[in-house]
Chain A
Amino acid sequence: MSDYQLALQQLVDSALPTGAFAHSFGFETYVDAGVVFDEGSFGVWLAAFVGQQLTYSDGLAIRFLYEGAEVGELDELLSASLLPRQVREASLKMGGRLLEIGTEVFPSPELALYRDLVTTGRAAGHQPLAFAVVARSLGVPFPEALAAYLFATVTSLTQNAVRAIPLGQNAGQRLLRGGADGVAAAVERIPHLAPDDFGALSPGLEISQMRHERQRARMFMS
Chain B
Amino acid sequence: MSTIPAVELVETHAPGLGPAASPDLGPCPSPAAPDPRKLESGPSRQWAPHAAHHAAAPKSGLAASAVKEPMGELALRIGKRAGRSVATHQYHRGALRVLRPHYLDDSGQVCYVLVNPGGAYLGADLFLLDVDVEAGAGLLLTTQSATKVYRTPGSFAEQRMALRLGDGARLELMPDQLIAYRQSSYRQNTRVTLRPSSSLVMAEVITPGWAPDGASFKYEELRLRNEIHVETDGGTELLALDNLLIRPPLNDVTGLGFMEGFSHLGSLVVVDARVNQALADELHALTAGYKAHTGMSLTRSIAGTTGLVLRALSNSTGELNSLLGACTALLRERWHGQAPLNLRKY
| B311 located at the interface, meaning its Cβ lies under 8 Å from any Cβ of chain A in the complex | yes
Instruction: Point out the residues of chain A lying under 8 angstroms from B313, CB to CB.
Output: 203-204, 207
Query: What residue of chain B has the Cβ atom nearest to residue A70's Cβ?
Result: B48
| B84 located at the interface, meaning its Cβ lies under 8 Å from any Cβ of chain A in the complex | no
Residues of A contacting B: mostly:
helix
Instruction: Point out the residues of chain A lying under 8 angstroms from B255, CB to CB.
Output: 44, 48
Q: Contact: A77 with B223, CB < 8 Å?
A: no
- Contacts A64-B47, A198-B47; is A48 near B257 (CB within 8 Å)? yes
Please provide the chain B residues from 233 to 262 with a CB less than 8 Å away from any CB of chain A in the complex: 237-245, 251, 255-260
| Min distance, Cβ B42 to any Cβ of chain A, angstroms | 7
Q: Which of B96-104, B116-124, B168-176, B293-301 contacts A (4 or more CB under 8 A)?
A: B293-301
Q: Contact: A206 with B311, CB < 8 Å?
A: yes
Query: What residue of chain B has the Cβ atom nearest to residue A189's Cβ?
Result: B250
| B340 located at the interface, meaning its Cβ lies under 8 Å from any Cβ of chain A in the complex | no
| Min distance, Cβ A64 to any Cβ of chain B, angstroms | 5
Instruction: Point out the residues of chain A lying under 8 angstroms from B225, CB to CB.
Output: 196
A30, A69, A85, A204: the one contacting B297 at CB < 8 Å is A85
| A210 located at the interface, meaning its Cβ lies under 8 Å from any Cβ of chain B in the complex | yes
A30, A84, A197: the one contacting B295 at CB < 8 Å is A84
Instruction: Point out the residues of chain B lying under 8 angstroms from A213, CB to CB.
Output: 297
| B49 located at the interface, meaning its Cβ lies under 8 Å from any Cβ of chain A in the complex | yes
Instruction: Point out the residues of chain A lying under 8 angstroms from B45, CB to CB.
Output: 194-196
Instruction: Point out the residues of chain A lying under 8 angstroms from B49, CB to CB.
Output: 73, 76-77, 80
- Contacts A77-B47, A195-B45; is A204 near B259 (CB within 8 Å)? yes
Q: Contact: A79 with B300, CB < 8 Å?
A: yes
Instruction: Point out the residues of chain A lying under 8 angstroms from B239, CB to CB.
Output: 80
Q: Contact: A204 with B257, CB < 8 Å?
A: yes
- Contacts A76-B238, A202-B257, A204-B260; is A211 near B244 (CB within 8 Å)? no
Q: How far is the CA of A73 from the CA of B45 in the complex (A)?
A: 15
Q: How far is the CA of A44 from the CA of B295 in the complex (A)?
A: 21
| Min distance, Cβ B312 to any Cβ of chain A, angstroms | 8
Residues of B within 8 A of A (CB): 42-43, 45-49, 52, 223, 225, 227-228, 237-245, 251, 255-260, 265, 284, 293-300, 309, 311-313
Having A56-B245, A80-B228, A83-B242, one finds 13 other A-B pairs with CB under 8 Å, namely: A44-B257, A52-B251, A73-B47, A77-B241, A79-B300, A80-B241, A81-B241, A194-B45, A196-B45, A196-B223, A200-B243, A207-B294, A207-B295
